Amino acid sequence: MSSKGSLMFVLHAHLPYVYHPGDIDIVEESWFFEAVVETYIPIISFIENLSRDGLHPSIAISLSPTLSAMLENKELERKLSDYVAKRLKLISKEKENVTNPVIRKTLDMYYNLYSSAEATLDKYNGDLVGAFKQFSQAQLIEIMTTSATHAILPLLPRPEAVRAQMAVAADDYLYRFNKKSRGFWLPECAYEKKLQTYLKLSGFEYTFLEAHALEKFDMGVYSPVSAGNNLKILARDVTSSRDIWSAQFGYPGDPNYREFYRDLGYDADPEYIKPYLGMGQGKKPVGLKYYRITGRDVALSEKQLYDPVAAEETVKKHVEDFIEKRLKQCEEIYSHKNSKPVIIGCYDAELFGHWWFEGPRFLETVIREIRNKRVPLQIVKPAEYIDSIGEPPVFEPEISSWGEKGYFDAWLNESNDSVYSDIICVTDKMISAATRFKNQNLDRLNQRALNQAAREVLLSQASDWPFLIYVNSHRTYAFSRIREHVSNALLLLNQVFSKNIDEKFLSNVENKNSIFPYIDFRVFASASKF
Amino acid sequence: MSEKNVNICSGEKLVLLIKNPETLFVLWSFNETNERNFEKGIYTRQVELRIFALSELLPVLSFKFDFNDNRNYIQMPVKEGEYFASLYARNEKGEEMKLLESNVILAPVGKSKEVNYTYGSQFFKRGQI
Residue B5 clears pLDDT 80, i.e. is over it: no
Residue B108: pLDDT band (50, 70, 90) is confident
Q: Taking residues A314-324, what's their average pLDDT?
A: 97
Neighbours of A336 (CB within 10 A): 12
Query: How far A247 CA sits from the closest chain B CA (Å)?
Result: 8
Q: Do A409 and B112 touch (CB under 8 A)?
A: yes
- The residue that leads in pLDDT, A315 or A270, is A315
Least confident among A165-174, A379-388, A427-436, A465-474: A465-474
Contact at 8 Å (CB) between B77 and B60?
Answer: yes
Q: How far apart are CA A303 and CA A295, in angstroms?
A: 8
Residues of A in contact with B110 (CB under 8 A): 212, 398-399
pLDDT at B114: 60
Give the DSSP letter string of A460-511: HT-THHHHHHHTTSSHHHHHHHHHHHHHHHHHHHHHHHTT---HHHHHHHHH
pLDDT tier for residue B122 given thresholds of 50, 70 and 90: very low
Domains of chain B in start order, with CATH, are: 13-122 (2.60.40.10)
Q: Do A212 and B113 touch (CB under 8 A)?
A: yes
Q: Does A511 touch chain B (CB under 8 A)?
A: no
What is residue A155's DSSP assignment? G
User: CA A424 to CA A461: how far, in whole Å?
Assistant: 9
pLDDT at A292 over 50: yes
Average the pLDDT over each of A87-96, A162-171, A246-255, A370-379 and give the range with the smallest value: A246-255
Residues 6+ apart with CB under 8 A from A482: A419, A422, A423, A460, A465
Dump pLDDT digits (tens) for B58-91: 999 999 999 999 999 999 988 889 999 999 999 9
Q: Residue A275: its pLDDT value, please?
A: 87
* Residues in contact with A347: Cβ distance below 8 Å, sequence separation at least 6, in sequence order: A9, A10, A11, A12, A241, A244, A245, B120
Residue A208 CA, distance from chain mean position: 14
The answer to whether the CB atoms of B112 and A405 lie below 8 A apart is yes
* Contact across the interface for A471 and B124, Cβ inside 8 Å: yes
What residues contact A488, with CB distance under 8 A and at least 6 apart? Answer: A452, A453, A456, A509, A513
CA distance A71 to chain B (A): 18
- pLDDT for res A241: 84
Instruction: State yes or no: pLDDT of B1 exceeds 50.
Output: no
pLDDT per residue as tens digits for the range A432-481: 999 999 999 999 999 999 999 999 999 999 999 999 999 888 899 999 99
* Class of domain A413-524 as given by CATH: mainly alpha
Average pLDDT over residues A512-522: 96
**φ and ψ at residue A363, rounded to 5 degrees:** -65, -45
Shortest Cα distance, chain A CAs vs residue B119, angstroms? 5
Longest dimension (CA), chain A: 72
* Average pLDDT of every residue of chain B: 85
Instruction: Give residue A283's pLDDT.
Output: 83
What average pLDDT does chain A have?
Answer: 94
Residue A359 confidence (pLDDT) above 70: yes
Chain A, residues 51-80, CB within 8 A of chain B, namely none
Q: Where are the domains of chain A?
A: 6-18+28-72+127-258+306-406, 413-524
Among B121, B13, B24, CA closest to A158: B13
Task: Give the rounded percent of residues in chain A with a pLDDT score beyond 70.
Answer: 98
Q: How many CB pairs under 8 A join A and B?
A: 160
Say whether domain A6-18+28-72+127-258+306-406 belongs to CATH 3.20.110.10: yes
Q: Does residue A407 belong to the interface with chain B, where contact is any CB pair within 8 Å?
A: yes
Does B122 touch chain A if contact means CB atoms closer than 8 Å? yes
Closest chain A residue to B16, measured at CA: A157
Judged against a pLDDT cut of 60, whether residue B104 lies above it is answered with: yes
Distance from CA of B80 to the nearest CA of A (A): 11
Task: Please tell me which of the candidates B13, B19, B106 has its beta carbon nearest to residue A425.
Answer: B13
The answer to whether residue A464 neighbours chain B at the CB level (below 8 Å) is: yes
Give the pLDDT band (50/70/90) at residue B125: very low
Any chain B CB within 8 A of the CB of A477?
no
The count of other CB atoms within 10 Å of the CB of residue A299 is 9
Would the pLDDT of A325 be above 70?
Answer: yes
B119 pLDDT exceeds 70?
Answer: no
Which chain A residue shows the shortest CA-CA distance from B104?
A157
Cβ neighbours, 10 Å, residue A178: 9
Q: What is the predicted pLDDT for the residue at A342?
A: 96
Cβ of A269 under 8 Å from any chain B Cβ? Answer: no
Q: What is the DSSP letter of A38?
A: I
Interface test with B, best of A404, A464, A477, A497 (most B CBs within 10 A): A404
CA separation, residue A369 to residues A59, A318, A360, A376 (Å): 15, 12, 14, 11
The answer to whether B11 contacts A158, with C-beta atoms less than 8 Å apart, is no
Nearest chain B residue to A356 by CA: give it. B123
Q: How far apart are CA A41 and CA A34, in angstroms?
A: 10
Q: Residues A99-154: pLDDT tens digits?
A: 999 999 999 999 999 999 999 999 999 999 999 999 999 999 999 999 999 999 99
CA distance A44 to B50: 54
pLDDT of A309 > 50? The answer is yes
The mean-pLDDT minimum among A41-45, A268-272, A276-280, B25-29 falls in A276-280
Contacts 24+ apart (CB under 8 A), A328-336: A329/A5, A329/A239, A329/A240, A330/A4, A330/A5, A330/A377, A331/A4, A333/A5, A333/A222, A334/A4, A334/A5
Find the mean pLDDT for residues A494-501.
97
Strand partners, A346: A10
Residue A7 bridge partners (DSSP): A343, A379
Checking if the pLDDT of A175 tops 70, the result is yes
Burial class of A78 by CB neighbour count within 10 A (0 to 12, 13 to 18, 19+)? exposed
Judged by CB atoms closer than 8 Å, whether chains meet at B120 and A399 is answered as: no
For residue range A44-87, what is the model confidence (pLDDT) as tens digits? 999 999 999 999 999 999 999 999 999 999 999 999 999 999 99
Identical fold for domains A6-18+28-72+127-258+306-406 and A413-524, yes or no, is: no
